[in-house]
Structure 1
């Protein structure tokens, strides 16, 4: 569950769960979005080209802000769709609109306890509920549910209760149909984009995240897989208190990655945490084929060791966990290996295999794409660029401007029209990978992961590393 530091300061929402309330609110959104577009289009008739482009950018921001404000009040699947549009939209929406929609990831007011208490009583039953003392103030609030702290009376065990908002699952299909029309009316998606296909993928993702039985299994599985690795803590699950829409786990004390306690850690301790963050992703991706795809910092907290230097990651919220098919993973491994080895042919073949590129693309597109791929691999080179490296060749994640350079390289190459909107596997995988990079930057880690990536690419999978390996020159590309 994503953490919301503002939740204790913001006025709780009265949840609109009735079909009439929700439909009325969404109908209003559609009317206002359509009227706004009509006004904007009429105004553009009297502007020159440069003014139209500037006004278009402003219009997209206004429409996205309107959508974000309205969805944030409705909660449920409509808000989640807005969040997912900020993930998918990076491939086809204006950057200004994406920035606005991303605010939905972090800015979710809680729902009033009075709306949730009857639901919890019904779902747990009077006997089970009587065993617990529940704090009415939420620890965290998100689009699909919120978390409350509790104490088991019999032994004082501290628990977390994740509560799905009432009637949420029943409204998913109708919400997505209505919101699809609203997004079209708001003109946030350009012509030629298969919005229905995108929304169908979002729909499947939302159904996965509201399946608390599955999340309980995934939490337990991650706990078992990491049980013998003292760098990570996974909450214990309590099936006796859990239902399809209520998930109860142990409460695990930890600090936010951006907290003063974490910032105050010595460099070696932050480096160790950075290595643990990277290796967790490599374990999930290369070894397990099971990846927790939500990179929100609220899901990756840090338990600071006050008595020593044994800091740990506390891993939360496994609702967005995805399983990846071996065939997809094999092609993706080739893509990564191609970049790691500076082997353009292998990189391009892998990118085609995972539907990032079209085989009929011009050679210049392949060349430009390879340059971008080999730029992304920069933190995993044996000797990173001097301006981002320590004397012993550790990569300075906090000082790197890699994201900006990659974005600039893609824009300069002008190859976007040859990209397909990637399949959902890639969208959510890259979402998590980008989150790892941001986490390393926030930790201000100094860490060279060359040997770690080589281990998972080759030793772990019995692959033979070419003689040239990563020692080849970038000039050979």
Structure 2
């Protein structure tokens, strides 16, 4: 068995007070980076109902992200989500550094890892394995992944949760809410409490590896023996609430197809398959893997299949919500403004009694966002500036304060998945006949 030294990882803060201390240090770095003048400006923009704009130096941003990366857990997960739209809150330079949270997390030291393994598998746990690689092959916000081989020859990937992460979720979310209020990161009049509550529930589910194993098996049953996709099997005898054991799968992160070693045809095919899968998840499975991290998809060049990983963020979608999205999709394809209006009211995008001009603004935004769905033939994501156009128009509407309602918190994770699929297709510079895919899934 290979080992790594204590210096290769720092312990995950697992007690509430220690996590509060680390978050306080991170907040201190943030406040120091903003300065007195910046704090006054934030207070002014908050009072005026405008979005906050944080001016951070590169050094203070690195300190802030280092602290979040060391904490792991809900704090790091929310930092990752915040960094996806960092240009709205941070300067471009700070947003670039914040984006590193999506690719980094520190592994836990060997002593902490050993305690987790002994707690979950018992004394003498290593006797079950022919080989266990102590150096993790991946680390994220909630856990890290190790390769192993059992005595009976099974080649596995073991996803091992950082200690204390589950118990810290509630306090982390509460502390983040306090931080958001302090820095005015939501516009005046917008109640973010329901969205933080939905995030809290989702994070608890992500931290329950028994639940993830069930979601993985349910999803695997929907996909079946597919020539285009592979979902590793769960090994229940080695799976606990804090360790998820699954088949080890070969492959490279799918976004590497954007590199010079792969042909355009491979990029187009991968993006087409994943776009079709995104729509099937919602309209056929009613079960959506909502984490847009590119690392959750591997490309196996030998078989040509895409490996699907990480089902902790999988959500079952209520049939009535699916029906509302189907109604909206059909209306968008037909340019049916009355149908778009009815579906938008049902989804909570607009209120039934909002002024017509406000509803028209939302209809125009939805029509713009549906450009890839409605444009006949191939849509070239590589040259599209749609994300920027939707982002800036949507941001202006969001902060305008003209709407009387907000969509159900459940939609937040669906939007996250839709955006992630779009960004992956753009990363691959892919051309996809999305209109045909949409019609086949909706009609």
Normalised by the shorter chain, which TM-score bucket?
0.7 to 0.9
Partner secondary structure for residue 234 of structure 2: coil
Secondary structure of 2:401's aligned partner? helix
CA offset at residue 382 of structure 1?
Answer: 5.2
Asked if structure 2 preserves the Cα contact closer than 8 Å seen for 1:267 and 1:445, the reply is yes
Matches within 5 A, 1:71-470: 71-86=68-83, 101-126=98-123, 128-132=125-129, 133-155=131-153, 157-259=154-256, 263-305=260-302, 311-381=304-374, 383=376, 393-410=377-394, 416-419=400-403, 420-458=405-443
Task: Go from structure 1 to structure 2 and tell me whether the alpha carbon gap of 1:75 and 1:414 turns closer, same or farther (over 3 Å shift).
Answer: closer
Unaligned runs of 5+ in 1: 1-6, 384-392, 459-477
Q: With structure 2 as the length reference, what TM-score do the two structures score?
A: 0.86
Contact 2:142 2:161 in 1 (8 A): yes
Per the TM alignment, residue 41 of structure 1 is displaced from its structure 2 partner at its CA by: 6.0
User: How many Å apart are 1:329 and its aligned residue?
Assistant: 1.3
1:57 paired with 2:53, answer: yes
Deviations 1:2-21 (A, max 9, x none): xxxxx99x952222223443
CA shift, 1:371, in A, is 2.3
* Structure 2 unmatched ranges of 5 or more: none
For residues 265 and 34 of structure 1, what CA distance do their matches in structure 2 show? 45
Within the alignment, does 1:18 sit opposite 2:15 as a pair? yes
Conservation of the 8 A alpha-carbon contact between 1:299 and 1:315: yes
Q: Is the 8 A contact 1:33 1:182 kept in 2?
A: no
User: Cα distance 1:69–1:198, how it changes in 2: closer, same or farther (>3 A)?
Assistant: farther
Shift of 1:248: 0.5
The structural deviation recorded for 1:284 is 0.7
Q: How far off is 1:250 after superposition?
A: 0.6
Q: 1:85, CA displacement in angstroms?
A: 4.3
CA distance in structure 2 between the partners assigned to 1:131 and 1:361 by the alignment: 63
- SS across alignment from 1:358: coil
- 1:230-266 C-alpha deviation (Å, 9 max, x unpaired): 1000001100001111100010001112326965333
Q: Larger Cα Rg: Structure 1 or Structure 2?
A: 1
Inter-CA distance 370–134: structure 2 relative to 1 (3 Å threshold): same
Is the 8 Å Cα contact of residues 93 and 189 (structure 1) preserved in structure 2? no
Contact 1:211/1:244 (<8 A) preserved: yes
CA distance in 2, matches of 1:43, 1:266: 52
Deviation, structure 1 residue 75? 1.5
Q: Judge conservation of contact 2:87–2:95 (CA < 8 Å) in 1.
A: no
Inter-partner Cα distance in structure 2 for 1:359 and 1:165: 46
CA distance in 2, matches of 1:223, 1:442: 26
Given the superposition, is the C-alpha separation of residues 235 and 192 from structure 1 closer, same or farther in structure 2, using an over 3 Å criterion? same
Task: Out of 99-108 and 225-234, give the one that drifted further.
Answer: 99-108
Q: 1:423 to 1:64 in 2, by over 3 A?
A: farther
